[in-house]
Amino acid sequence: SAATPPLLPPGTAPGEYRPTPPAFAPAAFTHWAAVTPFVLDRASRFRPGAYPALSGAAYAKAVQEVAAAGRDTGTTRTADETQQARFWAAPIWNYWNEITQSVVGGSHPGLVVAARVFARLNLAFADAVIAFYEAKYHYRIWRPVTAVRLAADDGNPATQGIPDWSSLATTPPDPAYPGAHSVISQAGAQVLRQEYGPRRPLAVTSEALPGVVRHFTSFQDVADEAGLSRIVAGVHTRLDHDAGRRLGQDVATFVLRS
């Protein structure tokens, strides 16, 4: 992990990842797929299926959704969705460790059980990060800000280019597919659901939006909102979210069975 990450040449063809505004920073963690997983036998074990064709209806629908809901201004986003986008803007594993700390502390399980829960959670996260970076740099799919701005060149008559489009949140410097928030959140929900059952009242706070508390009735509700928040933030499409959910579920299930 201390190796110098190789530079990723910017894509030129429709759909290919390239650096995003405003900083146009080089792609990050390009080497992370080479990290040896802790539990998975290989980083690509649960790699999501191929990204849908840019010419298809699924792609057009996903781009239309993020273009409308994820824009910084003139958006279809509700006030609550804007809060969600801002609330979930911090590193996603931080939320899940804090949720786990609250749940474990409230159940007074003893040191051995508490250590087991945190170990399973963070082993799942560690391998999920390796797995999603492997998939991101295998497919190298462009981010919504690029997809929307260059939609006139994507070969799909159902998408419309908006050259001045900007996302609500700043786009992270890595490819879109699959979505990291969705991967990690689904993995976290799967681990905690196995330990504590599917339904539990949860109050979640955010370092990105101090003073705001969001309430949930299940771990899955938390995972769904966290993942979908990246669509209304303008940095992912639903295609990224759906693939991320599946990957997180598969990685966590594998870790829990090992």
In a 3-state reduction of DSSP, which class is residue 27?
A: coil
Q: Convert the pLDDT of each residue in 53-95 to its tens digit.
A: 999 999 999 999 999 999 999 889 999 999 999 999 999 999 9
Return phi, psi of residue 214, to 5°: -110, 140
**Model confidence at 12: pLDDT above 80:** yes
Cα 240 to its chain centre, rounded Å, is 7
Q: Convert the pLDDT of each residue in 117-158 to its tens digit.
A: 999 999 999 999 999 999 999 999 999 999 999 999 999 999
Instruction: Enter the tokens of residue 101.
Output: 């700390």
Q: Convert the pLDDT of each residue in 180-238 to its tens digit.
A: 999 999 999 999 999 999 899 999 999 999 999 999 999 999 999 999 999 999 999 99
Q: Convert the pLDDT of each residue in 189-203 to its tens digit.
A: 999 999 999 899 999
Instruction: Kindly list the domain boundaries of the chain, sorted by start residue.
Output: 81-142+173-257
Spell out where the chain has E strands. Answer: 199-205, 213-218
**Model confidence at 1: pLDDT above 90:** no
Alpha helices by DSSP H, listed for 33-173, are 57-69, 79-87, 92-107, 111-139, 144-149
